[in-house]
Chains A and B, each alone.
Chain A
């Protein structure tokens, strides 16, 4: 086990920039402020406004919206008197049906499973810290989050919906389903939730003590 670098009688944090390795001593940040590297400009540490409560509220809302987005029809297409209804999972299901299971898995992870896991893990960590619960797996959940983040592509999926709309516009009629409204709301809430969440501050609350 490595030796953590401790600061004597000080509330400030000692950090190395993860992009250029410059050492920084960061004083406690006022809420809403971000510390950046003075050499390369990378983000070092953020103190989001509203603390844990705001993050919990936003992630709870995001969870409800994600469930709604998956529960109802997403888009309906009318063509030649027939209509085809699809839901969120329909996108990856169509790839599976076309004999591309590997692609189906990628789309499923980036549009449904990844966002779901990210929201659930974030809520788990936030609630455990807020309610001071001694529950297992908090550290594990928090370390998963940093690896999960690039694979959550709700915003990219939304752009895909827009493009699909335009491509089908002149060959069929499209109707927006309940889920699509929930999905659009989810994009906004998820962005706000991400900016209310700073993993490094949560790690600082958890501290270095670790059970094996």
Chain B
């Protein structure tokens, strides 16, 4: 039995199950948040955020996220070249973690959201459990992509020794952060209950 069929919805903030007035919107008697049968405009909002993230993904990878200025020489690193540097100079396990967090995760996350949106819109009855699990993973791992931004911030804070060496954050860092934040909001605005809604019931 699903809550929707009984006109019930649980509050997104506190979890209280409640009977919604006709129209499907109201306020939670326990925490005061607004409660909806489904997140309002879920599909449209997710699409908008996802497409913006995809556009920002280009400058995020094309522009340098940081530059090392040493004895008058400047060397710039993008997200990808930073990972390659780690593979060449650093240790493998760490390079692999950073590759997953900053290259694979953002890319797969956007593809996963795209897949979830398209299957919900085409009312696909297939693999509901797997799609719900996919959504759960997307929600969970997105934040790890911020690691590169923290690295840049820490390096810029530490390496600021006048003419010997200075590390400057690059514009790519802003675009990359935008990708991470936009996809986090996109995942939050997607309503996984939509995956289960078209069961031949309405």
Contact = CB atoms under 8 A, between A and B. Distances in A.
Nearest to A22: B2
A20 B184 contact: no
Interface stretch (B22-30, B43-51, B55-63, B116-124): B22-30
B2 A203 contact: no
A159 B144 contact: yes
Interface residues of B, number: 75
Interface string A8-19: 000000111011
Interface in A158-186: 159-164, 166-172, 174
B146 A110 contact: yes
Contacts of B179: none
Nearest to A80: B164
A122 interface: no
A31 interface: no
Interface in A68-109: 75, 77, 79-80, 82, 84, 86, 90-95, 98, 100, 102-103, 106-107
Interface of A: 1-5, 14-16, 18-23, 39-42, 45, 75, 77, 79-80, 82, 84, 86, 90-95, 98, 100, 102-103, 106-107, 110-111, 139, 142-143, 146-147, 150, 153, 156-157, 159-164, 166-172, 174, 199-200, 203, 206-208, 210
Given A4-B30, A160-B146, 5 more contacts: A20-B2, A23-B3, A79-B161, A160-B154, A166-B91
Closest 10 CB pairs of A and B: A160-B150, A16-B3, A94-B157, A90-B157, A91-B153, A94-B156, A2-B26, A203-B14, A2-B18, A166-B90
